[in-house]
Chain A
Amino acid sequence: MERRAVYRNKVLPWLLIGPQLILVLVFFYWPTSQALYWAFTLEQPWGGGNAWAGFDNFLYIFRDNRYWATVLRSAFYALAATGLSMLVALTLASFVDRALKGTKLFQSVFIWPYAIAAPAAGVAFRFIFSPEAGLIGGINTIWPGIWDPATNAAHALAMVIICHAWLGIGYNFVFFLAALQMIPKSLSEAGAMDGARPFRRLMDLQLPLIAPTAFFLLIMNIISSFTDSFGLIDTMTEGGPIGQTEVMVYKIYIDGFKGLDYSGAAAQSIILMLLVISLTFVQFKWVERRVHYN
């Protein structure tokens, strides 16, 4: 906050900032503290308030193999979807960055997936990947039973991950393209004078220079794999077959709102929140370092 603040007033700033502060207090800080309370207490079956449970809720979760399977699955999901999406987006962005004639048209279309609701994409991809309808199901007419996301966990997970990656293309593309366009033209030209071919230049010049953006996107994508995955899984697989596509947010939803285990869900929420906070923190640290570079 390097600016010389220019107005002095005792009341006005509070009137301006008040509404936002109240909303943040009611919908962020209060509930978050509430979750902490739940996570460390257990609701008594006969009513009469919550009993202090210490770390029991957490220990219970940590002893649950199914929970660890969910965590591992979430990690795999995050990395696979992120990697796939960023790879496609970066490839497209680096070709679009050449600014050939007509590129504008491609460019505007590549952003479209950003506009699509996860559940809407989920429904569309469920149809596309349906074993007895749509597009991919076609291979079942040649080799019956080779593709079946309804019973095969690997198929189901792959289907969700592909859909998630597709959804992320637009967002990633915008950032990659902007980062690439920020690189001065003279740099590429210097590289070309040094005899580097386009692919070499991409690897040696452009990629290192857009590394900060790539890192930013990596974190954003991983966080979105926690948030957007719910809409996809709920419409595509509902966590099935037999819980094999449950990821962390979905499990919290199932345990808390279907299983009505608030304490367990709260403890899981705390873990997830800590995870997301630490990811964001890593990113802030990185941004700081990046400022240092410049």
Chain B
Amino acid sequence: MIERSPFFDALTYFAMFLGLVIVVLPFWIVIVAASQSLQEVSRVPISLLPSDQLWINLQEAWTRADLGPKMVNSFIVAIGVTVGKITLAAMSAFAIVFFNFRARMICFWLIFITLMLPLEVRIVPTYSIAANALLPFQVILDTFGITWLVQQMSGVQIALNWNLLNSHAGLILPLVATATGTFLYRQFFMTIPDELAEASKMDGASAMEFFWDVLIPLSRTNMLALATIMFVGSWNSYLWPLLITTDRANFGTVVMQLKALIPNMNGTPDWNVTMAGALIIMLPPLLVVAFMQRWFVRGLISRDK
């Protein structure tokens, strides 16, 4: 900071305060509206002072949108994606960075091309696999005549079928099948000096011992960053759950319930309940980001490189 003029300092604070209003106002309105009664929330424009109905509205939203089981589903999905992605990413990045095997570069590109296309962009094709996730293998077996061969020999017809509609696996797996985490881990592993791996070799450690005893502890920060990004991303995913879940009662996630909370055109405009629901739904990822901020920021940045 070079200029020390009080005017410029004041301007800085003013600008930051304005930014604070821009960023916080929507949150504030959600909280305020969620704490008001129906009459209060129907006032136009809305009063910016909170009222005392918060708990009642939260309960109403919770039961109306059946948020209990949906919360469970959302947590299953978010944690499943987070854990799955971190595990797979660390493993595959380890293979790509620290092993010398023939198809290394091919594997590298096969995985990294997936960075280019987010799930939402290829939603139609991805949906096509949901009815039977094993279809690719069936086709492979069919093309190579293995199905026919097995049927001739044993009379058993191979029919691989794994329906992902209305299942947690269906909600989780497609979100795990992208390379963001692998990329992050690769970037980190590339910064590990070769000598560290060699030192562990001299100490008699095998590849997996090096992975467990050295790489995993060293990548803790990156792991936290990745966990934050993945948790937020999967909790907030919307389009895919919407498609894969027809049985909302059992497999719906909280984010899918938002739309159900919006007042009908001709119904009661009870936005207070809507906002209470929105508050409940946005809270978990917000808390995660707030608590993990330090690591998460570092993780986001290293994605840039």
Contacts and interface: CB of A to CB of B under 8 A. Distances in A.
A213 B124 contact: no
Given A10-B101, A88-B19, A123-B262, A115 B176 contact: no
A249 B269 contact: no
A5 to B, nearest CB: 4
Contacts of B3: 192, 197-198
A125 B271 CA distance: 12
A30 B129 contact: yes
Contacts, number: 324
Interface string A86-114: 00100110011011100100101111111
A114 B281 CA distance: 14
Interface in A149-204: 166, 169-171, 174-175, 178, 188-189, 192, 197-198
Interface stretch (A45-53, A60-68, A75-83, A128-136): A128-136
A262 B124 CA distance: 8
Contacts of B8: 198
Contacts of A231: 236, 238-239, 255
Given A19-B88, A20-B111, A137-B44, A115 B288 contact: yes
Nearest to B195: A6
A280 interface: yes
A25 interface: yes
B107 interface: yes
A226 B120 contact: yes
A184 B177 CA distance: 39
A12 B26 contact: no
Contacts of B274: 123, 127
A227 B217 CA distance: 34
A133 B36 CA distance: 13
Most buried by B among A98, A120, A133: A120
A281 B29 CA distance: 41
B2 interface: yes
A14 B101 contact: yes
B128 interface: yes
A186 B40 CA distance: 55
Given A175-B301, A230-B238, A277-B117, A35 B125 contact: yes
Contact of A3 (B177, B190, B243): B190
A21 B44 contact: no
A243 interface: no
A19 B91 contact: yes
A15 to B, nearest CB: 8
A267 B27 CA distance: 39
Consensus secondary structure, chain B interface:
helix
B190 A106 contact: no
B23 A95 contact: no
The range of chain A's interface size is 35 or more
Most buried by A among B120, B271, B288, B297: B120
B291 to A, nearest CB: 11
A123 B258 contact: yes
Given A17-B91, A117-B282, A235-B262, A276 B116 contact: yes
Interface residues of B, number: 104
A206 to B, nearest CB: 12
B128 A17 contact: no
Given A115-B285, A166-B22, A8 B121 contact: no
B69 interface: no
Contact of B30 (A27, A124, A140, A188): A124
Contact of A112 (B27, B94, B99, B116): B27
Contacts of A4: 194
B271 A127 contact: yes
Given A133-B271, A266-B125, A114 B232 contact: yes
Interface stretch (B10-18, B49-57, B144-152): B10-18
Interface string B209-244: 000000000000000000000001001101100110
Interface in B169-188: 173-174, 176-179, 182
A6 B275 contact: no
B77 interface: no
A4 B30 CA distance: 54
27 contacts: A7-B197, A8-B101, A13-B99, A17-B92, A31-B125, A38-B125, A91-B19, A98-B1, A100-B13, A106-B19, A108-B290, A111-B297, A114-B232, A115-B290, A117-B238, A124-B29, A124-B275, A124-B278, A133-B42, A137-B44, A138-B44, A140-B44, A174-B297, A198-B8, A226-B121, A252-B123, A276-B116
Interface of B: 1-3, 8-9, 12-13, 15-16, 19-20, 22-24, 26-27, 29-30, 33, 41-42, 44-46, 88-89, 91-92, 94-101, 104-105, 107-108, 110-111, 114-129, 133, 135-136, 173-174, 176-179, 182, 190, 194, 197-198, 201, 207-208, 232, 235-236, 238-239, 242-243, 255, 258-259, 261-262, 269, 271, 274-275, 278, 281-282, 285-286, 288-290, 293, 297, 300-301, 304
